[in-house]
Structure 1
């Protein structure tokens, strides 16, 4: 190989910013005015303006070799991407069998300690029950990215042949509404859906109480977490109905709301086969049906869901498509959230391991605002009121209608994800109680995470989101990063809020943490009001390794469980 130099880093930055290259995201990189190599080992750059999270952005950059891609005719199609990737890590690429495995071998020239393993094989095992069986039989050594399904956790605790790890995560599960859809542009629609979402059965029944409820994208452990948002959207299906009424969605003859001839009906997608998410979909479908909202489940394979369909994942949340008219009104989102009871999701599905989420910021973050806690407590009556306020009136069949449109939509998750499918069932019941119909339409992961999600072709989906060590979240929330509108980011719900944009920009303009904290605390309060997503719970990672695997170290700040593979080794005997 060739020496790794500062020129490779500079070339990588220029490649990311090249409009002809399909970069994962340009967030942060677009704040660099210039970059140059002072010598082979010294890199310098100049910022356009102060940008606090630049260190985190650069640390997550995967450096590519200039001597290989610098002469490529088309970097997007270069065989470097699939057949001969070159890096500086502890292992070197050997081969890839599409849909089966990737094989790596030890890099003898690695600059750090180790590696202590000769060969590392990443197997593709789409069925998580099969994956768990292979861990029990010793066919695999580490469970990998998706870990152990929560419904298998009780059995995993009894096994003496494995090491079990349960640690908090910065990820949260959420409903992501597509803000490009007219129905989701009104924040009252999102509020109504959230009010009509009971997270308790999701947390308790599907996640067996392991995952706490979420109310924000910021986890409670973050320095940026705002505690004032807690309880802001307590389950309240009656308030959800009121909100839907207020924005003109009236209940139709079949119980689904209608407005202007349009039914309050949308699709929801998740990764096909993700049992937990499919359970969540079923719950939400039921919950929203109770307030006159129809959610149809249409799940897709991961490769489709996270390709152009959505583009990127990781806290559990309902993501409404803000391009749909019904989700543009925040009161709709508020109503749905008030009608969502997260407790059964956290306690029954996640066994009490995952805390409820109310923000994208996890509670352990320095940015977490404790004031948001309890902001959206389950309140179906308030959800009904909200739906009434926005003009969605209950129809003859219990589903709300506004202007001839039924309050019905599809919801998708990954087909086969038991936990998400349970959540769907719970939400379907909860929302039905406030006059919202949610139809489940799950998809294989390859479909769900393709154009379907990335390019905002969904109505709503159950999906996981993640916040890194820094609470900067522009790539999922800022209006300039909407892929369906040409943005190079992950705002696939197409949320557009000038106030959120302003606060995101304020949060990165100062390096003083206390000043940044004020911006992120306020951001979480606005997030709790606007509800671009409907957070359900904060993840816990449940991972297993075969006895004898040494050096495996869970790290809640890292999305990749394989962050320290150079330190792994196998104890014989």
Structure 2
């Protein structure tokens, strides 16, 4: 159900082709970019709907997937992944490789040649100084950066000319190319004279080099974009792009069905509507694989989750099969890991989940968690009671919460459901680990690379003083050691057992309770073309420059 022939994760050949720092990166794609070809006259309007509201408009600050729906419209990375896992150039004249002299054989020296003549939306020329600024900003200790993984190895970043940039790596880092592919470049001049870059005016009025200009935002409703007719690649072909916020999945589907929505995006068509959606006239509905996995994430700083026996008992009391079959109509596949099942690095030998209330109770009894008069277990003054939060309006997640709330109660665990609108849920509440537990969908990979340091390295937890996405606040020295080891290797066959061991350790530790890997039900009107699922990217708009109305 989740597999797609031309949009799968790395097989052995593709895995080798992606490791640019070892001189084996795939050659830059050509043919996509007709440098400064006459753009088609943009026409028409398209409405794309998300069930979560984009709220972070500086792409170098902490953000979630839905925010990237805006980034691909407004900004550009240096290069990106296509659906087959190959890099293609965007702001670069060519993707750097060992073969073309962009990367030294040892992976320590990088030289990037930029496309000449690109301009920012305000007409200012785009130069190597903008790339230098963007890369260095991620390492600024006073800036709330969304990621430090990889960047921290970059040294002596130098703008040799307006179109050439060099830097050194303090040590080889295999995922670097994949990280650059998910790094959106921002304008240096927009921060001139700004004392606190965390509160810069740019953060609410973004300027990019991308196919669309940020026109206006109506908070809680929609964002309007207009065509950048000076765009440096083919397109855009749309005059106006509207990203609409519809928090209730049933309402979002109804609006897609009625024609008010042209493309239905995150969180897409829910499985309970699949049968009807496939028969809608004038609509294209497709099932696409995704790297995202659904889980119950635990805040590992909370006393309720310190005992491994508690986490194992909770997982044992989670009726995954019923949730997947009854609520999701069997569309997604159950998983035991964060790694997509299509990945070259997926570990197929992890212990299979067993649902057993009896064994879960026995495990907690043995660990010394005693039931009180109220039926809630307690040990050393800590009650097994906690909140669980997710996006309000996601009816399937809300029903799943009811499922495990009831089964957890049968083992003496009290769960209080505490849901929020997306902008609140995935803001500081999530980023700063203010939650007890969450129902969350995550893609922990950078493109097709298996590195997950940003999510599982101990030093990447914001609540523990780090700069990253480890909101579980997970700590395991062995995982830290293996992540460093895996990132230093450029041979897929050598990396594979490292990342499989990481999956085994995390499966044993259970900082999150894995439920299923996503299978996305995507839909758009039949007069819309260019929409193409891409398992190597986290959001629909990765190629919004190509979208058209007929």
Residue equivalent to 1:483: 462
Within the alignment, does 1:558 sit opposite 2:534 as a pair? no
d(CA) in 1 for partners of 2:444, 2:458: 18
Q: Which moved more, 1:242-251 or 1:531-540?
A: 242-251
Map residues 104-253 of structure 1 onto 2, 5 A cutoff.
104-231=225-352, 233-253=353-373
d(CA) in 2 for partners of 1:9, 1:134: 40
- Is the 1:165–1:554 contact (alpha carbons within 8 Å) kept by the matching residues of 2? no
Superimposed CA distance per residue, residues 328-383 of structure 1 (whole angstroms, 9 cap, x where no aligned partner): xxxxxxxxxxxxxxxxxxxxxxxxxxxxxxxxxxxxxxxxxxxxxxxxxxxxxxxx
- Is the 1:176–1:533 contact (alpha carbons within 8 Å) kept by the matching residues of 2? yes
- Is the 1:136–1:161 contact (alpha carbons within 8 Å) kept by the matching residues of 2? no
d(CA) in 2 for partners of 1:230, 1:257: 27
d(CA) in 2 for partners of 1:287, 1:111: 55
d(CA) in 2 for partners of 1:510, 1:86: 37
Return the TM-score normalized by structure 2.
Answer: 0.75
Within the alignment, does 1:461 sit opposite 2:438 as a pair? yes
Residue equivalent to 1:259: 379
d(CA) in 2 for partners of 1:90, 1:538: 32
Superimposed CA distance per residue, residues 402-449 of structure 1 (whole angstroms, 9 cap, x where no aligned partner): xxxxxxxxxxxxxxxxxxxxxxxxxxxxxxxxxxxxxxxxxxxxxxxx
- Is the 1:114–1:567 contact (alpha carbons within 8 Å) kept by the matching residues of 2? yes
Return the TM-score normalized by structure 1.
Answer: 0.72
Within the alignment, does 1:496 sit opposite 2:475 as a pair? yes
SS where residue 517 of structure 2 aligns?
strand
Report the Cα offset of residue 226 of structure 1: 0.9
Q: Which has the higher strand share?
A: 1
- Is the 1:269–1:460 contact (alpha carbons within 8 Å) kept by the matching residues of 2? yes
d(CA) in 2 for partners of 1:489, 1:185: 22
- Is the 2:130–2:188 contact (alpha carbons within 8 Å) kept by the matching residues of 1? yes
Residue equivalent to 1:427: none
Once superposed, what is the RMSD of the aligned Cα atoms? 1.4
Map residues 341-490 of structure 1 onto 2, 5 A cutoff.
455-468=432-445, 469-490=448-469
Report the Cα offset of residue 230 of structure 1: 4.6
Residue equivalent to 1:60: 182
The counterpart of 1:12, out of the listed 114, 134, 147, is: 134
Report the Cα offset of residue 554 of structure 1: 0.9
Displacement over 4 Å in runs of 4+? none
Q: Which moved more, 1:541-550 or 1:138-147?
A: 138-147
- Is the 2:247–2:394 contact (alpha carbons within 8 Å) kept by the matching residues of 1? no
SS where residue 229 of structure 1 aligns?
coil
Report the Cα offset of residue 545 of structure 1: 0.6
Q: Which moved more, 1:267-276 or 1:118-127?
A: 118-127
Say how many residue pairs are matched.
426
Superimposed CA distance per residue, residues 476-512 of structure 1 (whole angstroms, 9 cap, x where no aligned partner): 2111111112111121121111111111121111111
Report the Cα offset of residue 246 of structure 1: 2.8
d(CA) in 2 for partners of 1:238, 1:495: 28
The counterpart of 1:30, out of the listed 152, 165, 184, is: 152
Report the Cα offset of residue 206 of structure 1: 0.8
d(CA) in 2 for partners of 1:552, 1:136: 18
d(CA) in 2 for partners of 1:516, 1:461: 31
Q: Which moved more, 1:95-104 or 1:272-281?
A: 95-104
- Is the 2:295–2:439 contact (alpha carbons within 8 Å) kept by the matching residues of 1? yes
Within the alignment, does 1:70 sit opposite 2:192 as a pair? yes
- Is the 2:217–2:224 contact (alpha carbons within 8 Å) kept by the matching residues of 1? yes
d(CA) in 2 for partners of 1:303, 1:170: 23
